[in-house]
A = this chain, B = another copy of it.
Amino acid sequence: MELSHIDEKGNARMVDVSGKEHTVREATASGRVLMDRKTLDLIVSNGLPKGDVLSTARIAGIMAAKDTYRLIPMCHNLPLDGVTVELYPDLERCSIEIRATVRCVWKTGVEMEALTAASVACLTVFDMCKAVDKNMIIEDIKVLRKTGGKSGTFERQGEDRWQG
Chain B residues whose CB sits within 8 angstroms of the CB of A99 once the complex forms:
none
Q: How far is the CA of A100 from the CA of B75 in the complex (A)?
A: 17
Q: How far is the CA of A56 from the CA of B55 in the complex (A)?
A: 8
Chain B residues whose CB sits within 8 angstroms of the CB of A86 once the complex forms:
11
CB-nearest residue of chain B to A85:
B13
Q: Closest approach, in angstroms, between the C-beta of A57 and any C-beta of chain B?
A: 9
A80 within 8 Å of B (CB atoms): yes
Q: Closest approach, in angstroms, between the C-beta of A64 and any C-beta of chain B?
A: 6
Chain A, interface residues (CB within 8 Å), range: 35 or more
Please encode chain A, from 49 to 68, with 1 for each CB lying within 8 Å of some chain B CB and 0 for all others.
01111011011101111110
Q: How far is the CA of A79 from the CA of B17 in the complex (A)?
A: 11
Taking Cβ atoms with an 8 Å cutoff, the residues of A that contact B are 1-7, 9-18, 24, 31, 38, 42-43, 50-53, 55-56, 58-60, 62-67, 69-86, 103-107, 111-112, 115-116, 119-120, 122-124, 126-132, 134-143, 146, 154, 156
* New contact pairs (12) apart from A11-B86, A18-B81, A71-B71, CB-CB < 8 Å: A1-B42, A3-B131, A9-B51, A14-B80, A14-B84, A66-B70, A66-B77, A72-B120, A134-B154, A137-B140, A138-B142, A139-B141
